[in-house]
Structure 1
Amino acid sequence: MTEAQQLPLFLKKYPVFSESFTSNANVILHTGVAENFLYSLPSEIATLIVTSPPYNIGKEYETRRSIERYLAEQDSIIDELVRVLNTQGSLCWQVGNYVQNGEVFPLDIYYYDLFKKRGLKLRNRIIWHFGHGLHASRRFSGRYETLLWFTKSDTYTFNLDSVRVPSKYPGKRHFKGKNKGMPSGNPLGKNPSDIWEIVAHEWEKELWDIPNVKSNHPEKTIHPCQFPVELVERCVLAFTNEDDYILDPFCGVGSSLIAAINHNRQAIGIDKEQRYTNIAKERLKALYRGELKLRAMGKEIYKPTGRERVAQVPEEWRNQDLFEGITES
């Protein structure tokens, strides 16, 4: 099979980019302020809004401000996001923590009220775990972020069969009642519930164990807080159908758009940084050509065997009292 034959049918039929909204484009990639562009979108167009907004931690694309001012600015954007989300739609808001003078402000808790007061309903609070990050010295090192999954109504798109996992006991049978002796499970697998551990294609726990995008990640670009495509793919498969619109109002280098297009959805992305949207467009073009490097969804995370030098205790640390000179803080 050739690379062209391996591409999703959607990519071969509709390789159309646009800077502004147009119904014949399957990728709308706009450079500008999210709130301004959202005004131009039709109401209830998106089946899924998935994003990771700025955390107000002083990255190169944001100006650090008080937590109150930061949330007030996001509040006005959320008004427009709720307007463009359709009745059967979901909103996935992935955030970490804002830290000031060593004190942690959990952003998911602050954001909850902003969505709840607009009538959205929280279906899951999902934990995304990763193995690498900044090392703290006066508190435990953070190794997770949270994804809030809200829906606009009680009649929302949820494709359970797309995310089922193998049953632990597929041979289990009913022991009484009219189905006595018949298999008691679903032949497609079990519902992974709200506790997911994504390792080697299994969603067993609510701990989403997906590596964050660091220097050795195949998807790494210049963006300092890049979204892994794999994290979005699970939302795309569970909460949308083919041809649905997926919107990322802070799309950065386009990971959400790639996840959408790779599964035959339509994508709308907005980012105020031209250099990021330029990279997003190049990544999408590489996807169309079958050349984009992606980490396979569900790929097992590498664990050292103990033979590698980095997995061994340094010679300098051996046979010495590591607690010598350390005082209680």
Structure 2
Amino acid sequence: MPEFKTVNQSKIITGDSLDYLKKMPDNSVDLIVTSPPYNVGKEYETQTSLRVYLDKITPMIDEAIRVLKPTGNLAWEVGNYIHNKEVYPLDIYYYDIFKQRGLQLRNRIIWHFGHGLHAKTRFSGRYETILWFTKTDHYTFNLDPVRIQAKYPGKKSYHGKNKGKLSGNPKGKNPEDVWNIVQSDWEREIWDIVNVKSNHVEKTIHPAQFPIELVDRLVLALSNEGDTVLDPFGGVGSTLISAVKNNRIGISIDTVKEYTDVAKERLKALQNGTLKMRPMTKKIYKPKNDKISRVPKEWNGKGVY
């Protein structure tokens, strides 16, 4: 049975995130990983105008920044708001809010997924964005856990004092700022990670669930063992699960009791080794040459296939 050093310190709270954050002490959280509602009318939100939506969430952002340590990180994952068939990229609006409060953007990461809603009047959306902010220039960033295999490990310097010597790091190379997870490396700023749909092993009752492998990448790189990881829009607890499995202290808050009940069950399953999770290094499934993946005869050669 797996052992997790921080599980007894982790918390799953049913209630209002703003109320809970107001009771938390200043500078008490090392990492915030969250995905707020997108104002698209999901079952856990009431759709309003874009301005009202942003005004309502801004006080929670202020509290989140207050509880974040000066060395802490904040990963804010969002999609698009759609109104009258027009797309409003939420990360653009959120950037201004965080920038006005003194935070610094370190990366704008694209999370790409292969399945989603199909559009008829525009290209079908297949990505969301993660804004990684810090409060100061002194922040936690662990390179070694996210290093990737060098393409040319035997490459040598061709000039300067190290001419003729190996130029790489034996632990692997810096993933730079462009990540592609499906290649089993972090070379591109596009994270190709399966979203949680009906056939995903982690699927629960939540309609917009975080895949654990997405959170794992943020938790490993942006926090240390024993750190506190907060998700004020915790849903069914994917951020908390990632925090606990990587020996961090997780705090997950959600207003919907059905979601927090699922989060508690998932945590129990993690503890007893029965929680189904998609491994971080597993490549995305490619369909076999079967009836479903082949072009149907009924199309009679029509189209671009």
Q: Provide TM-score, normalisation by structure 1.
A: 0.90
Equivalent pairs counted in the alignment come to 304
Please point out which of 183, 189, 192 is paired with 2:175.
192
| Letter in structure 2 aligned against 1:212 | N
Separation (CA, whole Å) in 1 of partners of 2:239 and 2:261: 15
| Letter in structure 1 aligned against 2:290 | E
Of structures 1 and 2, the one with the larger relative CO (CA 8 A, separation 6+) is 2
Please point out which of 284, 306, 313 is paired with 2:295.
313
Which protein is bigger by CA-based radius of gyration?
A: 1
Q: Which runs of 5+ in 2 are unaligned?
A: none
Alpha carbons of 1:82 and 1:173: their partners in 2 closer, same or farther (altered >3 Å)?
same
**SS across alignment from 2:74:** strand
Is residue 226 from structure 1 mapped to residue 217 from structure 2 by the alignment?
no
Structure 1 vs Structure 2: percent identity of aligned residues?
60
Between 196-205 and 262-271, the greater mean CA deviation after superposition: 196-205
Q: Which runs of 5+ in 1 are unaligned?
A: 17-24, 324-329
Runs of 4+ in 1 over 4 A off after TM superposition: none
Alpha carbons of 1:275 and 1:148: their partners in 2 closer, same or farther (altered >3 Å)?
same
Separation (CA, whole Å) in 2 of partners of 1:118 and 1:14: 31
Q: How far does residue 14 in structure 1 lie from its aligned partner after superposition? A: 4.5
Q: Mapping of 1:256-271 within 5 angstroms?
A: 256-271=239-254
Separation (CA, whole Å) in 1 of partners of 2:51 and 2:149: 45
Q: Mapping of 1:1-329 within 5 angstroms?
A: 4=1, 7-8=2-3, 11=4, 13-16=5-8, 25=9, 27-305=10-288, 307-319=289-301, 321=302
Q: How far does residue 175 in structure 1 lie from its aligned partner after superposition? A: 2.1
Q: Provide TM-score, normalisation by structure 2.
A: 0.97
| Cα shift readout 1:208-247 (whole Å, capped 9, x = no counterpart) | 0001000110000010000101111000000100000000
Separation (CA, whole Å) in 1 of partners of 2:117 and 2:246: 33
Q: How far does residue 69 in structure 1 lie from its aligned partner after superposition? A: 0.2
**SS across alignment from 1:116:** helix
Q: How far does residue 162 in structure 1 lie from its aligned partner after superposition? A: 1.1
| Cα shift readout 1:158-212 (whole Å, capped 9, x = no counterpart) | 0011111011110011223322221111111111111000025211211100010
Separation (CA, whole Å) in 1 of partners of 2:161 and 2:101: 46
| Letter in structure 1 aligned against 2:23 | S
Contact residue 177 and residue 188 of structure 2 kept, 8 A: yes
Contact residue 7 and residue 244 of structure 2 kept, 8 A: no
